[in-house]
Amino acid sequence: MLNWPDSEEFWSDCRVCVTGGSGFLGSFVVEKLRQRGAKDIFVPRKKDYDLVEIEAVRQMLADAKPNIIIHLAANVGGIGANRAHPAEFFYNNLMMGVPLLHESWIAGVKKFVAIGTVCSYPKFAPIPFKEEDLWIGYPEETNAPYGLAKKMLLVQSQTYRQQYGFNSIFLLPVNLYGPRDNFDLETSHVIPALIRKCVEAKAKNLDEIVVWGDGSPTREFVYVEDAAEGILLATERYNNSQPVNLGSASEISIKELVDLIVSLTGFKGKIHWDTSKPNGQPRRKLDTQRAEALFGFKTSTDLVDGLKETIEDYQRTFMKIR
């Protein structure tokens, strides 16, 4: 084991700014920071600081005076949202990231943690996705604008370290899921969308749900609380600009995932596969050896257990709004 710092000691005197800290992943990161003893946590809200605007970025830095920035804020969504808003996903994610890292360097921030996306990988990257294969091809078309905008933070991180000695790191989480996820069918990712469809269909005695594609693509998922832990371990222990995957290293087909969620929710109807809709990237599975070797991160939540927690969370919400 490397000589890693004590978590509580690391955070005891830190002023940390978590952009997107009130969102899905961010809320778990903030909770874990508090559990580690962090007392000075600044969570900017969009109504006060629109990070697409450079003056808002500068004001946030002046108000927060952070030692560390964990940049989670992003425009995200599933295939449908990416197809409907490609320009927004490109511009907003680029402009929330690149100017913020630059202004953080100017402001003397000690460490910048940039969160990328598995969507940055080439469409046909070899399985499992290794970090060194990020540049061997173009991303899958439906989410390429988002993936490329986020990947520019990797280029920036590496060049600012090379020229200025700025300490920034770049992490690549795979698809997240868990309680507090976005269950809006217009913008959600596959797991919350499937859970909502199954729970509501069962409650309304519907005999069918519609699922996009043909079920053949594979995906890897990481429970949101595990991802939050990985981000904080990297913040504490990793100081290099080489990209690092965060995932579970477990692959499942969309068809298998649908069958699993159908079983866990108790939905008894039929599945209609709408093959007029896109499948997205054919396969996704990360090589996660680098994260374990460099900062000791491994996931601890089994997919079935994580899905049960997510389903229960949505069922509680669904019952409240019925």
- In this predicted structure, what is the pLDDT of residue 322? 54
Total number of domains in the chain? 1
- In this predicted structure, what is the pLDDT of residue 321? 55
What's the CATH number where 27 sits?
A: 3.40.50.720
Active site residue 177: no
Residue 210 lies in a domain: no
Instruction: Please give the Cα distance from 139 to 213 (Å, whole number).
Output: 19
Q: Which residue range forms the structural domain that includes residue 138?
A: 11-177+221-249+281-300
Residue 163 lies in a domain: yes
Residue 43 lies in a domain: yes
Bridge-based pairing state of the strands 244-246 and 168-173: parallel
Q: What single string gives the DSSP state of each residue in 207-262?
A: SEEEEES-S--EE-EEEHHHHHHHHHHHHHH----S-EEES----EEHHHHHHHHH
- In this predicted structure, what is the pLDDT of residue 179? 96
Give residue-wise pLDDT tens across range 12-21.
999 999 999 9
Bridge-based pairing state of the strands 111-115 and 221-223: unpaired
Give residue-wise pLDDT tens across range 14-54.
999 999 999 999 999 999 999 999 999 999 999 999 999 99
Region of 42 please: left (phi>0), alpha (psi -120 to 50) or beta.
beta
- Tell which residue, 299, 132, 140, 122, has the closest CA to residue 221: 299
- Contact in structure between 315 and 266 (CB atoms under 8 Å): no
Residue 311 lies in a domain: no
- In this predicted structure, what is the pLDDT of residue 1? 55
Among 146, 160, 177, 238, the one annotated catalytic: 146
Residues with Cβ < 8 Å from 207, sequence gap 6 or more?
269, 270
- In this predicted structure, what is the pLDDT of residue 211? 95
| pLDDT averaged over 10-residue windows placed end to end, the chain, 322 residues | 84 96 97 97 97 98 98 86 90 97 98 96 96 97 94 98 98 96 88 95 94 94 98 98 96 97 96 92 94 97 97 84 54
Residue 27 lies in a domain: yes
Residue 113 lies in a domain: yes
CB count within 10 Å of CB 212 equals 19
Residue 317 lies in a domain: no
Residue 264 lies in a domain: no
Q: Establish how many alpha carbons lie within 13 A of residue 274's alpha carbon, considering only the half-sphere containing its beta carbon.
A: 8
